[in-house]
Amino acid sequence: MPTGPDSGVSGHVNQVYLIVLLGSIALAGAADIVFDAPTTWRDPHLLLEGGVLAFCIASAAWLGRGWMRERRSLERLQESLASHQNDTVRRQIGRGYVGWPV
């Protein structure tokens, strides 16, 4: 697996770290709510923790949608590039030269 700057590997690793971070925050918030054992759902601390949990879940969903959209866009771009390269080679063959390295 290539690991250069154009390989996308470092971007994938950063995505994994961000997912782990958001998941950890959500789990810690849920554990805090359970350990606090609030007597009413109107408890300010419970409302704050609920907001943090909602923010983490919404952020993860929003980022996931963006990553999937960008992945599809990149796939379409790669298909377009491959098609363009094939057309270029066909034109060169039609003109009688290919320019392949020997």
CB 51 within 8 A of CB 43: no
Q: What are phi and psi of 13, to 5 degrees?
A: -65, -40
Expressed as residue numbers, the domain containing 26 is: 9-94
Tell me how many domains the chain contains.
1
The reported pLDDT for the residue numbered 9 is 57
Instruction: Establish if 4 belongs to a structural domain.
Output: no
Work out the average pLDDT over 44-64. Answer: 87
Q: What is the DSSP secondary structure assignment for residue 54, as one 8-state letter?
A: H
Instruction: Establish if 26 belongs to a structural domain.
Output: yes
Instruction: Establish if 102 belongs to a structural domain.
Output: no
User: Does the pLDDT value for residue 72 go beyond 90?
Assistant: yes
Work out the average pLDDT over 77-91. Answer: 91
User: Does the pLDDT value for residue 17 go beyond 90?
Assistant: no
The reported pLDDT for the residue numbered 10 is 65
Quote the CA–CA distance of 29 and 17 in Å, as a whole number.
Answer: 18
User: Does the pLDDT value for residue 50 go beyond 60?
Assistant: yes
pLDDT digits (tens, 9 = 90+) for 23-38: 888 888 888 888 888 8
